[in-house]
Amino acid sequence: MKNVSILIRAAIAVLFIGLSSTTVSASGLTEGKRANLADVKQMIDKEIQFPKAAREAGVTGKVKAQLTITNEGKLNVEAINGNPALTKYVQKQLNNVVVSNYLLSGKTFIANFDFRN
């Protein structure tokens, strides 16, 4: 019972640190577009958190996705790899992200998601 309590406390601490850490990178962008890409990262972070069911089942891992911003502002997943359960979740959540900055239309970037305890 004591071990379970310690594990729960550790999980809560990790959540506050930012359990689902996302990194976004793109090459060939000007500083202004890099700043706007940071806004996209924030939008993605709001949509993608460590799935509770996966965490409780002990499913962990990393997901890497190559994304292109469409003219409509949607994120088109060009390629995605990682744990199948987590990649399915990430792809579904990315469908909820809409980028309002038209200057980023057509830009491709890589997003890395880290779902580890």
Blockwise average pLDDT, block size 10, the chain, 117 residues: 46 38 49 64 86 88 94 95 94 92 88 88
pLDDT at residue number 6: 44
**CA separation (Å) from 76 to 16, 85, 97, 110?**
29, 19, 10, 12
pLDDT at residue number 94: 94
pLDDT at residue number 117: 64
pLDDT at residue number 115: 92
pLDDT at residue number 87: 95
Task: Output 26-30 pairs: Cβ under 8 A, ≥24 positions apart.
Answer: 26/107, 26/108, 26/109, 26/110, 29/107
Q: What is the pTM of this model?
A: 0.67
Q: Hey, what domains does the chain have and what are their CATH numbers? A: 2-115 (3.30.1150)
Token couple for 37: 């890409």
pLDDT at residue number 33: 52
- Which is it for strands 108-115 and 75-82: parallel, antiparallel or unpaired? unpaired
Radius of gyration, alpha carbons of the chain: 16
